[in-house]
Chains A and B, each alone.
Chain A
Amino acid sequence: MSKNHEFYWRRFHSLLGIIPVGLFLLVHFSINFTATQGVEAYNNAAGMMELIPHWLLLIVEWVVIYIPLLFHGLYGVYIAFTATNNVQRFGTFRNWMFVLQRFTGIFLVVFIAWHIFQTRIQKALGAEVNFDMMAEIVANPLMLAFYIVGILAATFHLSNGIWSFLVSWGITQSPKSQKVATYVTMVFFVVFSVAFVAAILAFV
Protein backbone atom coordinates (compact mmCIF):
# COMPACT_ATOMS: atom_id res chain seq x y z
CA MET A 1 0.00 0.00 0.00
CA SER A 2 1.49 3.30 -1.02
CA LYS A 3 1.94 5.89 1.66
CA ASN A 4 -0.99 7.90 2.95
CA HIS A 5 -3.59 6.08 0.87
CA GLU A 6 -4.90 3.84 3.62
CA PHE A 7 -8.05 5.94 4.07
CA TYR A 8 -9.01 5.43 0.43
CA TRP A 9 -8.20 1.71 0.49
CA ARG A 10 -10.39 1.26 3.57
CA ARG A 11 -13.26 3.23 2.10
CA PHE A 12 -12.87 1.30 -1.17
CA HIS A 13 -12.98 -1.96 0.82
CA SER A 14 -16.20 -0.82 2.51
CA LEU A 15 -17.78 0.22 -0.79
CA LEU A 16 -16.80 -2.97 -2.64
CA GLY A 17 -18.45 -5.07 0.06
CA ILE A 18 -21.81 -3.59 -0.96
CA ILE A 19 -21.20 -2.78 -4.62
CA PRO A 20 -20.64 -5.14 -6.37
CA VAL A 21 -19.97 -8.02 -3.93
CA GLY A 22 -23.14 -7.61 -1.84
CA LEU A 23 -25.33 -7.04 -4.87
CA PHE A 24 -23.84 -10.05 -6.64
CA LEU A 25 -24.54 -12.18 -3.57
CA LEU A 26 -28.23 -11.24 -3.71
CA VAL A 27 -28.45 -12.05 -7.44
CA HIS A 28 -26.60 -15.34 -6.84
CA PHE A 29 -28.90 -16.28 -3.94
CA SER A 30 -32.00 -15.32 -5.92
CA ILE A 31 -31.03 -17.72 -8.71
CA ASN A 32 -30.39 -20.43 -6.12
CA PHE A 33 -33.81 -19.78 -4.63
CA THR A 34 -35.46 -20.99 -7.85
CA ALA A 35 -34.40 -24.47 -6.70
CA THR A 36 -37.30 -24.37 -4.25
CA GLN A 37 -39.59 -24.28 -7.33
CA GLY A 38 -38.20 -27.56 -8.64
CA VAL A 39 -35.42 -28.99 -10.78
CA GLU A 40 -36.63 -27.45 -14.02
CA ALA A 41 -36.98 -23.93 -12.61
CA TYR A 42 -33.41 -24.05 -11.33
CA ASN A 43 -31.97 -25.49 -14.52
CA ASN A 44 -33.75 -22.79 -16.53
CA ALA A 45 -32.37 -20.04 -14.27
CA ALA A 46 -28.84 -21.46 -14.34
CA GLY A 47 -29.14 -21.99 -18.09
CA MET A 48 -29.87 -18.29 -18.58
CA MET A 49 -26.16 -17.66 -17.95
CA GLU A 50 -25.32 -19.80 -20.96
CA LEU A 51 -27.17 -17.31 -23.18
CA ILE A 52 -24.51 -14.67 -22.47
CA PRO A 53 -21.59 -14.88 -24.94
CA HIS A 54 -18.66 -16.63 -23.25
CA TRP A 55 -16.14 -13.78 -23.67
CA LEU A 56 -18.62 -11.25 -22.25
CA LEU A 57 -19.43 -13.51 -19.32
CA LEU A 58 -15.72 -13.83 -18.51
CA ILE A 59 -15.23 -10.04 -18.56
CA VAL A 60 -18.26 -9.49 -16.34
CA GLU A 61 -17.17 -12.26 -13.98
CA TRP A 62 -13.69 -10.80 -13.56
CA VAL A 63 -14.73 -7.15 -13.30
CA VAL A 64 -17.88 -7.58 -11.20
CA ILE A 65 -17.01 -10.65 -9.15
CA TYR A 66 -13.45 -11.97 -8.98
CA ILE A 67 -11.36 -8.78 -8.76
CA PRO A 68 -13.63 -6.94 -6.25
CA LEU A 69 -14.11 -10.13 -4.21
CA LEU A 70 -10.38 -10.83 -4.18
CA PHE A 71 -9.57 -7.29 -3.05
CA HIS A 72 -12.34 -7.26 -0.43
CA GLY A 73 -11.27 -10.69 0.82
CA LEU A 74 -7.52 -10.16 0.97
CA TYR A 75 -7.68 -6.63 2.39
CA GLY A 76 -10.31 -7.90 4.83
CA VAL A 77 -7.96 -10.63 6.05
CA TYR A 78 -5.32 -7.94 6.64
CA ILE A 79 -7.86 -5.85 8.62
CA ALA A 80 -9.01 -8.87 10.63
CA PHE A 81 -5.47 -9.82 11.61
CA THR A 82 -4.48 -6.32 12.73
CA ALA A 83 -7.25 -6.38 15.37
CA THR A 84 -6.73 -7.49 18.97
CA ASN A 85 -10.09 -9.04 19.84
CA ASN A 86 -11.23 -8.41 23.40
CA VAL A 87 -14.80 -9.70 23.83
CA GLN A 88 -13.74 -11.43 27.05
CA ARG A 89 -13.23 -8.00 28.61
CA PHE A 90 -15.82 -6.04 26.63
CA GLY A 91 -18.79 -8.30 26.00
CA THR A 92 -21.03 -5.67 24.44
CA PHE A 93 -23.31 -6.43 21.48
CA ARG A 94 -21.33 -4.25 19.09
CA ASN A 95 -18.02 -5.78 20.10
CA TRP A 96 -19.46 -9.24 19.41
CA MET A 97 -20.60 -8.00 15.99
CA PHE A 98 -17.06 -6.68 15.42
CA VAL A 99 -15.54 -10.08 16.18
CA LEU A 100 -18.19 -12.04 14.26
CA GLN A 101 -17.66 -9.80 11.21
CA ARG A 102 -13.99 -10.77 11.25
CA PHE A 103 -14.56 -14.49 11.97
CA THR A 104 -17.21 -14.82 9.25
CA GLY A 105 -14.93 -12.92 6.87
CA ILE A 106 -12.01 -15.30 7.41
CA PHE A 107 -14.34 -18.31 7.15
CA LEU A 108 -15.84 -16.94 3.93
CA VAL A 109 -12.42 -16.66 2.28
CA VAL A 110 -11.96 -20.40 2.85
CA PHE A 111 -15.56 -21.28 1.98
CA ILE A 112 -15.74 -19.20 -1.20
CA ALA A 113 -12.37 -20.50 -2.42
CA TRP A 114 -13.65 -24.06 -1.97
CA HIS A 115 -17.05 -23.21 -3.47
CA ILE A 116 -15.45 -21.68 -6.59
CA PHE A 117 -13.20 -24.73 -6.96
CA GLN A 118 -16.18 -27.07 -6.63
CA THR A 119 -18.42 -25.24 -9.12
CA ARG A 120 -16.86 -22.59 -11.37
CA ILE A 121 -13.51 -24.31 -11.86
CA GLN A 122 -15.26 -27.65 -12.48
CA LYS A 123 -17.37 -25.86 -15.10
CA ALA A 124 -14.20 -24.51 -16.74
CA LEU A 125 -12.88 -28.08 -16.77
CA GLY A 126 -15.97 -29.25 -18.64
CA ALA A 127 -18.60 -30.04 -15.99
CA GLU A 128 -22.15 -28.81 -16.52
CA VAL A 129 -23.66 -26.46 -13.93
CA ASN A 130 -27.13 -27.75 -13.15
CA PHE A 131 -29.34 -29.03 -10.35
CA ASP A 132 -27.59 -32.41 -10.29
CA MET A 133 -24.18 -30.81 -9.71
CA MET A 134 -25.36 -29.16 -6.49
CA ALA A 135 -27.46 -32.17 -5.49
CA GLU A 136 -24.35 -34.37 -5.71
CA ILE A 137 -22.34 -31.94 -3.60
CA VAL A 138 -24.87 -31.65 -0.78
CA ALA A 139 -25.61 -35.38 -0.81
CA ASN A 140 -22.60 -35.51 1.51
CA PRO A 141 -23.94 -34.41 4.95
CA LEU A 142 -20.62 -32.79 5.85
CA MET A 143 -20.69 -30.73 2.66
CA LEU A 144 -24.30 -29.76 3.34
CA ALA A 145 -23.32 -28.55 6.82
CA PHE A 146 -20.32 -26.68 5.35
CA TYR A 147 -22.59 -24.97 2.81
CA ILE A 148 -25.22 -24.04 5.41
CA VAL A 149 -22.55 -22.47 7.64
CA GLY A 150 -21.16 -20.71 4.55
CA ILE A 151 -24.59 -19.28 3.68
CA LEU A 152 -25.18 -18.09 7.25
CA ALA A 153 -21.71 -16.53 7.37
CA ALA A 154 -22.34 -14.74 4.07
CA THR A 155 -25.77 -13.37 5.04
CA PHE A 156 -24.41 -12.24 8.41
CA HIS A 157 -21.30 -10.66 6.93
CA LEU A 158 -23.38 -8.76 4.38
CA SER A 159 -26.08 -7.67 6.88
CA ASN A 160 -23.62 -6.44 9.47
CA GLY A 161 -21.47 -5.06 6.65
CA ILE A 162 -24.38 -2.88 5.55
CA TRP A 163 -24.60 -1.58 9.13
CA SER A 164 -20.91 -0.64 9.22
CA PHE A 165 -21.08 0.75 5.69
CA LEU A 166 -23.77 3.16 6.88
CA VAL A 167 -21.52 4.29 9.75
CA SER A 168 -18.27 4.34 7.76
CA TRP A 169 -19.70 6.63 5.12
CA GLY A 170 -21.31 8.91 7.69
CA ILE A 171 -24.93 8.11 6.84
CA THR A 172 -25.97 6.94 10.32
CA GLN A 173 -24.46 9.40 12.80
CA SER A 174 -26.77 9.46 15.83
CA PRO A 175 -26.88 6.51 18.25
CA LYS A 176 -30.61 6.25 17.49
CA SER A 177 -30.14 5.90 13.73
CA GLN A 178 -27.38 3.36 14.34
CA LYS A 179 -29.72 1.37 16.58
CA VAL A 180 -32.51 1.42 13.97
CA ALA A 181 -29.96 0.32 11.35
CA THR A 182 -29.02 -2.59 13.66
CA TYR A 183 -32.66 -3.75 13.80
CA VAL A 184 -33.17 -3.38 10.05
CA THR A 185 -29.96 -5.22 9.13
CA MET A 186 -30.64 -8.00 11.64
CA VAL A 187 -34.14 -8.52 10.18
CA PHE A 188 -32.44 -8.61 6.79
CA PHE A 189 -30.04 -11.26 8.16
CA VAL A 190 -32.84 -13.48 9.50
CA VAL A 191 -35.03 -13.22 6.37
CA PHE A 192 -32.17 -13.94 3.95
CA SER A 193 -30.76 -16.73 6.10
CA VAL A 194 -34.13 -18.54 6.20
CA ALA A 195 -34.68 -18.06 2.46
CA PHE A 196 -31.26 -19.27 1.37
CA VAL A 197 -30.93 -22.15 3.77
CA ALA A 198 -34.32 -23.21 2.34
CA ALA A 199 -32.75 -22.90 -1.12
CA ILE A 200 -29.79 -25.18 -0.32
CA LEU A 201 -32.14 -27.71 1.37
CA ALA A 202 -34.09 -27.88 -1.91
CA PHE A 203 -31.10 -29.69 -3.42
CA VAL A 204 -31.16 -32.43 -0.77
Chain B
Amino acid sequence: MTTAVGTTGRTVKLEILRQDRQGESTRWEKFEVPYRPGMNVISALMVIQQNPVTADGQKTSPVTWDMNCLEEVCGACSMVINGRPRQSCSTLVDQLEQPIRLEPMKTFPVVRDLQVDRSRMFNALKKVKAWVPIDGTYDLGEGPRMPERKRQWAYELSKCMTCGVCMEACPNVSESSSFIGPAPLSQVRLFNAHPTGAMTKDERLNAIMGDGGLANCGNSQNCVAACPKGIPLTTSIAALNRATTVQMFRNFFGSDHMVD
Protein backbone atom coordinates (compact mmCIF):
# COMPACT_ATOMS: atom_id res chain seq x y z
CA MET B 1 0.00 0.00 0.00
CA THR B 2 2.97 2.35 0.44
CA THR B 3 3.03 2.84 -3.32
CA ALA B 4 -0.38 4.54 -3.07
CA VAL B 5 1.22 7.59 -1.50
CA GLY B 6 1.81 10.27 -4.05
CA THR B 7 0.98 8.09 -7.01
CA THR B 8 -2.25 9.91 -7.81
CA GLY B 9 -0.32 13.08 -8.52
CA ARG B 10 -3.13 15.11 -7.00
CA THR B 11 -2.76 17.15 -3.84
CA VAL B 12 -5.05 18.34 -1.06
CA LYS B 13 -4.86 22.03 -0.12
CA LEU B 14 -5.47 22.94 3.51
CA GLU B 15 -5.56 26.18 5.47
CA ILE B 16 -5.22 25.79 9.21
CA LEU B 17 -5.71 28.38 11.94
CA ARG B 18 -2.68 28.03 14.20
CA GLN B 19 -2.35 29.13 17.80
CA ASP B 20 0.68 28.23 19.92
CA ARG B 21 -0.76 28.66 23.39
CA GLN B 22 -4.04 29.45 25.12
CA GLY B 23 -4.88 33.14 24.77
CA GLU B 24 -2.12 33.83 22.22
CA SER B 25 -2.57 35.35 18.77
CA THR B 26 -3.59 33.22 15.79
CA ARG B 27 -2.28 32.89 12.23
CA TRP B 28 -3.37 31.02 9.09
CA GLU B 29 -0.94 28.54 7.58
CA LYS B 30 -1.33 26.85 4.19
CA PHE B 31 -0.44 23.23 3.55
CA GLU B 32 -0.46 20.95 0.54
CA VAL B 33 -0.39 17.18 1.00
CA PRO B 34 -0.50 14.29 -1.49
CA TYR B 35 -4.02 13.03 -2.14
CA ARG B 36 -4.95 9.44 -1.38
CA PRO B 37 -8.34 7.90 -2.16
CA GLY B 38 -10.70 7.78 0.81
CA MET B 39 -8.79 10.36 2.85
CA ASN B 40 -10.46 11.96 5.83
CA VAL B 41 -9.40 15.23 7.44
CA ILE B 42 -7.43 13.39 10.13
CA SER B 43 -5.35 11.45 7.62
CA ALA B 44 -4.46 14.75 5.95
CA LEU B 45 -3.46 16.15 9.35
CA MET B 46 -1.32 13.04 9.98
CA VAL B 47 0.62 13.71 6.79
CA ILE B 48 1.32 17.26 7.97
CA GLN B 49 2.41 15.89 11.34
CA GLN B 50 4.98 13.64 9.65
CA ASN B 51 6.42 16.54 7.67
CA PRO B 52 5.40 19.91 9.12
CA VAL B 53 6.25 22.14 6.18
CA THR B 54 3.87 24.78 4.81
CA ALA B 55 2.80 24.99 1.18
CA ASP B 56 5.49 27.63 0.50
CA GLY B 57 8.24 25.42 1.95
CA GLN B 58 8.56 26.99 5.41
CA LYS B 59 9.28 24.65 8.29
CA THR B 60 6.67 24.92 11.04
CA SER B 61 5.57 23.13 14.19
CA PRO B 62 3.36 20.04 13.82
CA VAL B 63 -0.38 20.83 13.96
CA THR B 64 -2.06 19.72 17.19
CA TRP B 65 -5.55 18.23 17.32
CA ASP B 66 -7.53 15.81 19.47
CA MET B 67 -8.68 12.39 18.32
CA ASN B 68 -9.52 9.04 19.76
CA CYS B 69 -12.02 6.55 18.34
CA LEU B 70 -11.84 7.52 14.63
CA GLU B 71 -15.41 6.29 14.10
CA GLU B 72 -17.55 9.25 15.22
CA VAL B 73 -18.56 7.94 18.63
CA CYS B 74 -16.10 9.59 21.05
CA GLY B 75 -16.58 13.23 20.05
CA ALA B 76 -12.94 14.22 20.64
CA CYS B 77 -11.92 15.25 17.11
CA SER B 78 -14.54 17.97 16.51
CA MET B 79 -13.30 21.08 14.74
CA VAL B 80 -14.65 23.74 12.40
CA ILE B 81 -14.19 22.44 8.85
CA ASN B 82 -15.03 24.92 6.07
CA GLY B 83 -17.08 26.92 8.55
CA ARG B 84 -19.08 24.02 9.98
CA PRO B 85 -18.30 22.26 13.26
CA ARG B 86 -18.04 18.49 12.69
CA GLN B 87 -15.87 15.46 13.38
CA SER B 88 -12.59 15.38 11.48
CA CYS B 89 -12.65 11.55 11.46
CA SER B 90 -15.91 11.17 9.56
CA THR B 91 -15.40 14.16 7.28
CA LEU B 92 -14.03 12.90 3.98
CA VAL B 93 -11.72 15.02 1.87
CA ASP B 94 -13.60 13.99 -1.30
CA GLN B 95 -16.73 15.70 -0.02
CA LEU B 96 -15.05 19.01 0.79
CA GLU B 97 -14.33 22.12 -1.23
CA GLN B 98 -10.66 23.03 -1.33
CA PRO B 99 -8.76 24.64 0.22
CA ILE B 100 -10.07 22.89 3.32
CA ARG B 101 -10.17 25.47 6.09
CA LEU B 102 -9.66 24.07 9.58
CA GLU B 103 -10.32 26.10 12.71
CA PRO B 104 -10.75 25.14 16.36
CA MET B 105 -14.23 25.36 17.93
CA LYS B 106 -13.64 28.81 19.40
CA THR B 107 -16.66 28.64 21.68
CA PHE B 108 -14.29 26.66 23.92
CA PRO B 109 -10.88 27.77 25.21
CA VAL B 110 -8.30 26.85 22.54
CA VAL B 111 -5.47 24.81 24.06
CA ARG B 112 -3.31 24.77 20.92
CA ASP B 113 -4.08 24.84 17.18
CA LEU B 114 -7.22 22.71 16.68
CA GLN B 115 -7.29 21.33 20.21
CA VAL B 116 -9.91 22.80 22.54
CA ASP B 117 -10.79 22.34 26.20
CA ARG B 118 -14.34 20.97 26.46
CA SER B 119 -14.30 20.92 30.29
CA ARG B 120 -17.34 23.15 30.54
CA MET B 121 -19.47 20.39 29.00
CA PHE B 122 -18.30 17.83 31.52
CA ASN B 123 -18.74 20.29 34.36
CA ALA B 124 -22.27 20.93 33.09
CA LEU B 125 -23.02 17.18 33.12
CA LYS B 126 -21.95 17.11 36.78
CA LYS B 127 -24.02 20.19 37.54
CA VAL B 128 -27.21 18.69 36.09
CA LYS B 129 -26.55 15.24 37.66
CA ALA B 130 -26.54 13.43 34.32
CA TRP B 131 -26.47 9.94 35.79
CA VAL B 132 -28.80 7.43 37.44
CA PRO B 133 -28.05 7.12 41.17
CA ILE B 134 -28.10 3.44 42.13
CA ASP B 135 -25.64 3.27 45.01
CA GLY B 136 -26.96 2.37 48.45
CA THR B 137 -25.75 0.72 51.64
CA TYR B 138 -27.63 -2.42 50.64
CA ASP B 139 -28.76 -4.09 47.42
CA LEU B 140 -31.58 -1.93 46.11
CA GLY B 141 -32.78 -4.68 43.79
CA GLU B 142 -34.16 -4.21 40.31
CA GLY B 143 -35.52 -0.88 39.22
CA PRO B 144 -38.89 -0.37 37.51
CA ARG B 145 -39.22 -1.52 33.90
CA MET B 146 -38.95 0.99 31.10
CA PRO B 147 -41.67 0.87 28.45
CA GLU B 148 -40.11 -0.34 25.18
CA ARG B 149 -41.36 2.58 23.09
CA LYS B 150 -39.92 5.03 25.61
CA ARG B 151 -36.62 3.15 25.54
CA GLN B 152 -36.51 3.59 21.78
CA TRP B 153 -36.75 7.38 21.82
CA ALA B 154 -34.54 7.66 24.89
CA TYR B 155 -31.90 5.67 23.00
CA GLU B 156 -31.69 8.47 20.45
CA LEU B 157 -30.85 10.93 23.25
CA SER B 158 -28.19 8.56 24.61
CA LYS B 159 -26.19 8.87 21.36
CA CYS B 160 -24.73 12.17 22.59
CA MET B 161 -20.92 11.96 22.60
CA THR B 162 -20.27 15.39 24.20
CA CYS B 163 -18.52 16.41 20.98
CA GLY B 164 -19.31 20.10 21.43
CA VAL B 165 -20.67 20.70 17.90
CA CYS B 166 -24.02 21.96 19.24
CA MET B 167 -22.15 24.24 21.64
CA GLU B 168 -20.12 25.72 18.78
CA ALA B 169 -23.28 26.19 16.68
CA CYS B 170 -25.26 27.84 19.49
CA PRO B 171 -25.15 31.66 19.40
CA ASN B 172 -25.81 31.80 23.14
CA VAL B 173 -22.89 29.57 24.16
CA SER B 174 -19.54 31.35 24.33
CA GLU B 175 -16.63 31.78 26.69
CA SER B 176 -18.23 35.01 27.88
CA SER B 177 -21.67 33.51 28.58
CA SER B 178 -22.64 31.08 31.30
CA PHE B 179 -25.23 29.10 29.26
CA ILE B 180 -24.63 25.38 29.77
CA GLY B 181 -25.75 24.65 26.20
CA PRO B 182 -27.93 22.11 24.38
CA ALA B 183 -26.05 18.83 25.01
CA PRO B 184 -26.20 18.79 28.83
CA LEU B 185 -29.84 19.90 28.72
CA SER B 186 -30.83 16.98 26.52
CA GLN B 187 -29.07 14.65 28.98
CA VAL B 188 -31.43 15.91 31.70
CA ARG B 189 -34.36 14.78 29.55
CA LEU B 190 -32.64 11.41 28.99
CA PHE B 191 -32.02 10.71 32.67
CA ASN B 192 -35.41 12.05 33.70
CA ALA B 193 -36.99 9.62 31.23
CA HIS B 194 -35.22 6.68 32.87
CA PRO B 195 -37.54 5.03 35.44
CA THR B 196 -34.87 5.00 38.15
CA GLY B 197 -33.41 8.33 37.07
CA ALA B 198 -36.89 9.88 37.37
CA MET B 199 -36.72 9.27 41.13
CA THR B 200 -34.43 12.32 41.33
CA LYS B 201 -35.83 14.32 38.42
CA ASP B 202 -36.66 17.35 40.57
CA GLU B 203 -32.95 17.70 41.40
CA ARG B 204 -32.02 17.80 37.72
CA LEU B 205 -34.83 20.22 36.85
CA ASN B 206 -33.84 22.54 39.70
CA ALA B 207 -30.22 22.38 38.51
CA ILE B 208 -31.17 23.64 35.03
CA MET B 209 -33.36 26.33 36.62
CA GLY B 210 -30.19 27.91 38.02
CA ASP B 211 -28.02 30.64 36.45
CA GLY B 212 -26.88 29.87 32.91
CA GLY B 213 -29.51 27.15 32.68
CA LEU B 214 -32.37 26.20 30.42
CA ALA B 215 -33.95 29.66 30.11
CA ASN B 216 -30.81 31.01 28.42
CA CYS B 217 -31.78 29.13 25.25
CA GLY B 218 -32.68 31.64 22.53
CA ASN B 219 -34.37 29.17 20.15
CA SER B 220 -32.08 29.70 17.19
CA GLN B 221 -32.32 25.91 16.75
CA ASN B 222 -28.79 25.72 15.31
CA CYS B 223 -27.99 22.85 17.67
CA VAL B 224 -30.47 20.43 16.17
CA ALA B 225 -29.32 21.37 12.65
CA ALA B 226 -25.66 20.81 13.54
CA CYS B 227 -25.81 17.67 15.72
CA PRO B 228 -23.89 14.86 13.94
CA LYS B 229 -26.00 12.26 15.74
CA GLY B 230 -29.36 13.74 14.78
CA ILE B 231 -30.39 14.11 18.43
CA PRO B 232 -33.69 16.05 18.71
CA LEU B 233 -32.06 18.71 20.91
CA THR B 234 -34.70 21.40 20.43
CA THR B 235 -37.48 18.92 21.22
CA SER B 236 -35.58 18.06 24.40
CA ILE B 237 -35.28 21.74 25.28
CA ALA B 238 -39.00 22.36 24.65
CA ALA B 239 -39.88 19.27 26.72
CA LEU B 240 -37.72 20.60 29.56
CA ASN B 241 -39.34 24.02 29.19
CA ARG B 242 -42.66 22.34 29.92
CA ALA B 243 -41.24 20.25 32.77
CA THR B 244 -39.64 23.30 34.40
CA THR B 245 -42.87 25.31 34.03
CA VAL B 246 -44.59 22.63 36.11
CA GLN B 247 -41.60 22.38 38.47
CA MET B 248 -41.66 26.15 39.02
CA PHE B 249 -45.26 25.96 40.25
CA ARG B 250 -44.52 22.86 42.34
CA ASN B 251 -41.57 24.60 43.98
CA PHE B 252 -43.59 27.67 44.87
CA PHE B 253 -46.99 26.27 45.77
CA GLY B 254 -45.74 22.94 47.08
CA SER B 255 -46.41 19.46 45.79
CA ASP B 256 -46.33 15.81 46.84
CA HIS B 257 -45.44 14.91 43.23
CA MET B 258 -41.87 16.16 42.89
CA VAL B 259 -40.68 12.86 41.45
CA ASP B 260 -43.78 11.37 39.83
Residues of A within 8 A of B (CB): 3-8, 10-11, 79, 82-86, 88-90, 92, 94-95, 97-99, 163-164, 167-175, 178
Option from B169, B210, B226, B241 in Cβ contact (under 8 Å) with A168: B241
Contact A174 B235 (CB under 8 A): yes
Give Cα A8 to B211, complex, Å.
10
Closest residue on chain B to residue A80 by CB atoms: B218
- Number of B residues contacting the other chain (C-beta, 8 Å)? 38
Contact B219 A92 (CB under 8 A): no
Q: Does B245 contact A (CB under 8 A)?
A: yes
Contact B243 A6 (CB under 8 A): no
Closest residue on chain A to residue B214 by CB atoms: A7
Option from B172, B211, B241, B248 in Cβ contact (under 8 Å) with A6: B211
Distance from B237 Cβ to chain A, minimum over Cβ atoms (Å):
8
Interface string of B195-229 (1 = CB under 8 A from A): 00000000000000111111111111110011000
Distance from A76 Cβ to chain B, minimum over Cβ atoms (Å):
11
Q: Does B90 contact A (CB under 8 A)?
A: no
Give Cα A95 to B219, complex, Å.
8
Closest residue on chain B to residue A11 by CB atoms: B215
Distance from B201 Cβ to chain A, minimum over Cβ atoms (Å):
15
| Between-chain CB contacts (< 8 Å), 9 pairs | A4-B210, A10-B215, A84-B171, A84-B172, A86-B169, A86-B171, A86-B222, A170-B238, A170-B242
Contact A94 B239 (CB under 8 A): no
Contact B211 A4 (CB under 8 A): yes
Q: Does B62 contact A (CB under 8 A)?
A: no
Closest residue on chain B to residue A3 by CB atoms: B211
Given contacts A89-B83, A90-B225, A98-B171, contact A167 B210 (CB under 8 A): no
Q: Which residues of A contact B174 (CB under 8 A)?
A: 84
Contact A94 B219 (CB under 8 A): yes
Option from A10, A79, A90, A172 in Cβ contact (under 8 Å) with B238: A172
Closest residue on chain B to residue A170 by CB atoms: B242
Option from A10, A85, A172, A178 in Cβ contact (under 8 Å) with B171: A85
Option from B209, B216, B232, B238 in Cβ contact (under 8 Å) with A167: B238
Closest residue on chain A to residue B218 by CB atoms: A98
Option from B214, B215, B232 in Cβ contact (under 8 Å) with A175: B232
Give Cα A3 to B232, complex, Å.
31
Q: Does B87 contact A (CB under 8 A)?
A: no
Given contacts A173-B238, A173-B239, contact A90 B211 (CB under 8 A): no
Q: Which residues of B contact A4 (CB under 8 A)?
A: 210-211
Contact A173 B220 (CB under 8 A): no
Give Cα A171 to B244, complex, Å.
12
Give Cα A92 to B223, complex, Å.
11
Contact B245 A95 (CB under 8 A): no
Contact A83 B171 (CB under 8 A): yes
Q: Does B234 contact A (CB under 8 A)?
A: yes
Contact A171 B242 (CB under 8 A): yes
Q: Which residues of A contact B242 (CB under 8 A)?
A: 169-171, 173
Give Cα A178 to B220, complex, Å.
13
Contact A7 B209 (CB under 8 A): yes
Q: Which residues of B contact A88 (CB under 8 A)?
A: 83
Give Cα A86 to B167, complex, Å.
12
Give Cα A94 to B84, complex, Å.
17
Give Cα A65 to B166, complex, Å.
38
Give Cα A61 to B245, complex, Å.
29
Given contacts A168-B241, A173-B238, A173-B239, contact A83 B218 (CB under 8 A): yes
